A and B are shown apart, each in its own frame.
Chain A
Amino acid sequence: MNDTISTPPAVRTEDLWKVYPQEPEPVEAVKSLDLIVEPGDFVAMAGPSGSGKTTVLNLLGGLTRPTRGRIWIDGEEVSDMRDRDLARLRLERIGFVFQAYNLLPVLTALENAEFTLLLRGTPAEERHRRVMDLFREMGLDGLEDRRPGRLSGGQQQRVAVARAVAGDPALVLADEPTANLDTATSAALLDVMERLNRERGTTFVFSTHDPRVMERARRLIHLVDGEIESDVRRDAGAVAP
């Protein structure tokens, strides 16, 4: 008899719904979403505005609660977790990259990138070493002491990526990370994220309108009106529903 230890999916959802109560009638932002993302995947969710991409990311990140259905992150069910447990999950297993960078304006670039490690109680020396390694990898060295207001958009987004991956999360959720960046900066950022995915095995799930992101994704999910219209794995064809 073979004993095998199966690795749980990085993300799994089952009949996931998000309905916003609104007049004259409720808005169904996500409808019966069944999704599995394997660890180490590099997934892009595309679709027109209002298709539910950001809502799906918010649901996966525990930033909003589902109306119905279940979510597992790294094997742990999060659908009905208490607020403080969700906060712990976000801190320990999920990294976020937002369209608007969302660095904390009161902290320097280095402090922003270190923030989740600081909250986890990682010793200062290790914290500093890990973030400085990332800064060097991402061409941010020399900018450690700058506040976000004194960084370009591309630099801010790289700091945001450094913050998202510094704690080696199981999953990075990136909401239109290149939307505010020019072509060259977007390409450089995607290079960084691809390398992190390849070298560290970090799972990335993007929401995007950007064809350059879609081109680089190994799996492309197309959402329309809160439902998966297509789910294509670039290296192996369509994913079975």
Chain B
Amino acid sequence: MRFLILLRLSARAVGRNLRRSALTAAAMALGLALLVFSRALSDGGHEQWIDSAVRLGTGHVAIQAPEFLETGRLEHRLDSSALRSVERALDDPRVTSAVRARTTHLAVPGLASSAAAALPARIEGVDPALEAAFSPLPEMVQGGEYLQPGDRLKAFIGAEMARRLELEVGERFVLTAQNAEGEVEGQMVRVAGIYRTGIQEMDEGVVHLPLETARTWLSAPGAATTVSLLLGESRSTDEVTETLRAILEDHPEIRVMGWRQASPDLDSAVRIDDYGDYLFHTILFAIVGLAVLNAIMMSVLGRRREFGILQALGLTPAETGWVVFGEGLFLTAVSGVAGMVLGYVVTWGFFRDGLDFSSLMDEEMSLSGGIIETVIVPVFYLKHVLVSVGYMTVIGILASIYPARRATLLDVAEAMKFEQ
């Protein structure tokens, strides 16, 4: 009963000092709105970055032979029997519902050489139809075209490789690599198309050729080095990875990895970017927290007489503190809801098609195998929005504790001397 009275006093005090309360709530709400917006932008940027990196790499989920990640050697490949087990696992409804696209690679390190020069290359045998649905490479054609189903002795190379090997579309060059039997074999192919990703190491070093051509050339019929899965959302990675591991637990020749494990560089880069975001958010929270602390503190200092009266009338010092604390909670609750709605409305209303950073970046940048787009589309993760609201609640509570404590330590007789 008395608790309800204290709550009522808190609510009335918030309403009575409407301008001050509104300013405090506005500071908190704007801080939270900025946080929601910043989080949505950051999550959207990460999602695009990860999406581009996994599509150019080994997907959200990579299925390989256990040692392939470390060695990259053909001897550590999935043979046709292992691939059949993988196919069966991928037919599980829990997996199919999460998978957007998939592709199969037979990759080896090798050499690309022309009459002009020779370059180390990562040679990847791909299924052109699957790859077109999986990778952005086919959309990055600068000349010629991407591999087509039915192509045999054709290759799709990066612009830098074409420049250094002085190759044009339609010209021939030789790929050399160690085959499955340990023999060095050469394969002449013709340039079907040239791409540019903006990622130096890809443009200079990655060659696509038809999967069946690669299997024949490398004496690895029916084999693959990686089966890559592209998921609807990167957040599903752990769940799908664990599901596949469970299904394939009796197959020690098969290793299932999420993108963080399969692409440690990308994982590190995303984590570093996350830490930057956390730092920014911490600073933002600290600023909002100090604003709230200041507002509530001023409110307490300006109302010492009022708190003195409350104690003279029979409230205990602790109850007086609860009144002040309640004010902080009311402000936090109101501004929390307002900030969340404002952040969502502004982000969704103005930036749903993306925030264009092209005036700051002349062209797309690449980092850790992913492409950072010039237009970032915000993404809302309910969990992150709720975490932001949770943090704001904690800030509101922490910022209310000190003023509430001050109110409990009031000297009533002295407080009654203060002018309102």
| Cβ B316 vs Cβ A119 within 8 A | no
Q: Which of A55, A83, A115 contacts B316 (CB 8 A)?
A: A83
Q: Which residue on chain A has the smallest CB distance to residue B412?
A: A63
Q: Which of B1, B12, B317 contacts A107 (CB 8 A)?
A: B12
Contacts of A27 in B (CB 8 A): none
A138–B352 alpha-carbon span in the complex (Å): 65
| Cβ A104 vs Cβ B316 within 8 A | no
Answer yes or no: B309 CB below 8 A from chain A CBs.
yes
A64–B414 alpha-carbon span in the complex (Å): 9
Contacts of A83 in B (CB 8 A): 316-317
Answer yes or no: A98 CB below 8 A from chain B CBs.
yes
| Cβ A91 vs Cβ B9 within 8 A | no
| Cβ B416 vs Cβ A63 within 8 A | yes
> In chain A between 53 and 67, which residues have their CB closer than 8 angstroms to a CB of chain B?
55, 58, 61, 63-64
| Cβ B314 vs Cβ A116 within 8 A | yes
Q: Which of A55, A115, A121 contacts B313 (CB 8 A)?
A: A115
| Cβ B412 vs Cβ A105 within 8 A | no
Q: Which of A84, A90, A121 contacts B1 (CB 8 A)?
A: A121
Given contacts A63-B412, A63-B416, contact A119 B313 (CB under 8 A): yes
Answer yes or no: A96 CB below 8 A from chain B CBs.
yes
Contacts of B412 in A (CB 8 A): 58, 63-64
Q: Mark B383-420, 1 if CB is under 8 A from A, else 0.
A: 00000000000000000000000000001110010001
Contacts of B305 in A (CB 8 A): 102
Given contacts A63-B416, A64-B413, A121-B1, contact A87 B9 (CB under 8 A): no
| Cβ A98 vs Cβ B1 within 8 A | no
A91–B311 alpha-carbon span in the complex (Å): 9
Q: Which residue on chain A has the smallest CB distance to residue B17?
A: A106
Answer yes or no: B119 CB below 8 A from chain A CBs.
no
Q: Which of A55, A91, A107 contacts B314 (CB 8 A)?
A: A91
| Cβ A64 vs Cβ B411 within 8 A | yes
Answer yes or no: A151 CB below 8 A from chain B CBs.
no
> Which of B13, B312, B412, B420 has the most chain A CB within a 10 Å cutoff?
B312
Q: Which residue on chain B has the smallest CB distance to residue A59?
A: B413
| Cβ A102 vs Cβ B5 within 8 A | no
A115–B323 alpha-carbon span in the complex (Å): 15
Given contacts A64-B413, A107-B12, contact A90 B312 (CB under 8 A): yes
| Cβ A87 vs Cβ B420 within 8 A | no
| Cβ A63 vs Cβ B413 within 8 A | yes
Answer yes or no: A118 CB below 8 A from chain B CBs.
yes
Given contacts A102-B416, A105-B16, contact A96 B1 (CB under 8 A): no
Contacts of B165 in A (CB 8 A): none
Given contacts A96-B313, A104-B309, contact A119 B5 (CB under 8 A): yes
Answer yes or no: A212 CB below 8 A from chain B CBs.
no
| Cβ A88 vs Cβ B314 within 8 A | yes
Q: Mark B281-316, 1 if CB is under 8 A from A, else 0.
A: 000000000000000000000000110011111111
A130–B389 alpha-carbon span in the complex (Å): 46
Given contacts A84-B316, A87-B316, contact A104 B413 (CB under 8 A): no
A100 → B minimal CB distance (Å): 8
Contacts of A92 in B (CB 8 A): 314
Q: Which residue on chain B has the smallest CB distance to residue A115?
A: B313
Contacts of B19 in A (CB 8 A): none
Q: Contacts A63-B416, A106-B13 given; 6 further ones with Cβ under 8 A?
A: A90-B313, A98-B309, A98-B416, A106-B12, A119-B315, A163-B313
Chain B residues proximal to chain A, CB less than 8 Å? 1-2, 5, 9, 12-13, 15-16, 305-306, 309-319, 411-413, 416, 420
Chain A residues proximal to chain B, CB less than 8 Å? 55, 58, 61, 63-64, 83-84, 87-88, 90-92, 96, 98, 102-107, 115-116, 118-121, 163
Give me 26 A-to-B residue pairs in the complex whose CB atoms sit less than 8 angstroms apart, sorted by A's number.
A55-B413, A58-B413, A63-B416, A64-B412, A64-B413, A87-B311, A87-B314, A87-B317, A90-B312, A91-B314, A92-B314, A102-B305, A102-B312, A102-B416, A104-B306, A104-B310, A105-B306, A106-B9, A116-B313, A116-B314, A118-B5, A119-B5, A119-B313, A119-B315, A121-B1, A163-B313
